[in-house]
Amino acid sequence: MSAFEFFFSFYGLVLGLSVTALATGAARAFKHRRTVRIGWKTPMLATFVALDIATFWDAAWNNFSHLPYSYGLLIGGLLVAMVYFVAAGLVFPEPEDKVERLDDHLMANKRAVLLLLVLANVLMIAALACASLSKPNGLLIMVSYAFNLALYLALVLPAALSKRSWVFGLTLGLHIAIYIAIALASVIGKGLPTAS
């Protein structure tokens, strides 16, 4: 196991717990769907958080593999992964919360969830910028990261701060569509596996 694989196994474990928190909340919501109204906002937020975690995981794999292992890298990864875990844990209510509608819980927590995701992404962009300084085309890479962060903030901040459902739905819906388009392009770009 390489030093990077060691780092990534720890980092992936903590990010995996974030996905587990989302999946557990979704399963609990589905199980209690007769007594708790699900609505559309909470599933949309959960989908966005899951896609954001996957995008984040992919970015770490693709951009940190050339870095030498250090305790600082491990702590930085832990910090960012824990921010994701807290955000994921706030998407769905706990059993003791006794909510009648998931959208009520969402309205009380969406700002915290989305601002935590913004924090995680700002930290990641800062780390990626530092990691790119040693690359030959580092300046171009940093400009690309700055554009990506600006687009992220333009879509996520209005969803976090607005009380209007249509703003939340439109901005997160656009970002989900971008994530899905990137995923499809990555599959098409590499070609689909063929049966031997």
| pLDDT tens-digit series, residues 84-133 | 999 999 999 887 878 788 888 888 999 999 999 999 999 888 887 777 77
For residue 113, being part of any structural domain is answered with yes
Cα dihedral: 154, 41, 91, 33 (round 10): -170
Condensed to tens digits (0 to 9), the pLDDT of residues 8-24 reads: 777 778 888 899 999 99
Task: Count helices and strands (H / E) in the chain.
Answer: 6, 0
Task: Work out the average pLDDT over 131-156.
Answer: 84
Of 33 and 176, which is predicted with more confidence?
176
For residue 195, being part of any structural domain is answered with no
Do residues 70 and 6 make contact, with C-beta atoms less than 8 angstroms apart?
no
For residue 151, being part of any structural domain is answered with yes
Task: Work out the average pLDDT over 35-47.
Answer: 91
For residue 133, being part of any structural domain is answered with yes
At residue 1, the pLDDT reads 65
Strand, coil or helix: what is 101?
Answer: strand
For residue 23, being part of any structural domain is answered with yes
Residue 194 main-chain phi, psi, to 5 deg: -115, 150
Of 44 and 127, which is predicted with more confidence?
44
The DSSP letter of residue 33 is T
- Evaluate if residue 196 carries a pLDDT over 50: no
At residue 4, the pLDDT reads 67
* Of the candidates 48, 47, 45, 57, the residue with the CA atom closest to the CA atom of residue 17: 57
For residue 71, being part of any structural domain is answered with yes
Return the structure tokens found at 91: 């998407």
For residue 98, being part of any structural domain is answered with yes
For residue 196, being part of any structural domain is answered with no
Of 88 and 140, which is predicted with more confidence?
88
- What residues make up the domain containing 157? 3-190
- List strand residue ranges (DSSP E) for the chain, in order: none
**Neighbouring-strand partners of residue 117:** none
Distance CA 117, CA 129 (A): 18
At residue 69, the pLDDT reads 73
**Number of domains the chain contains:** 1
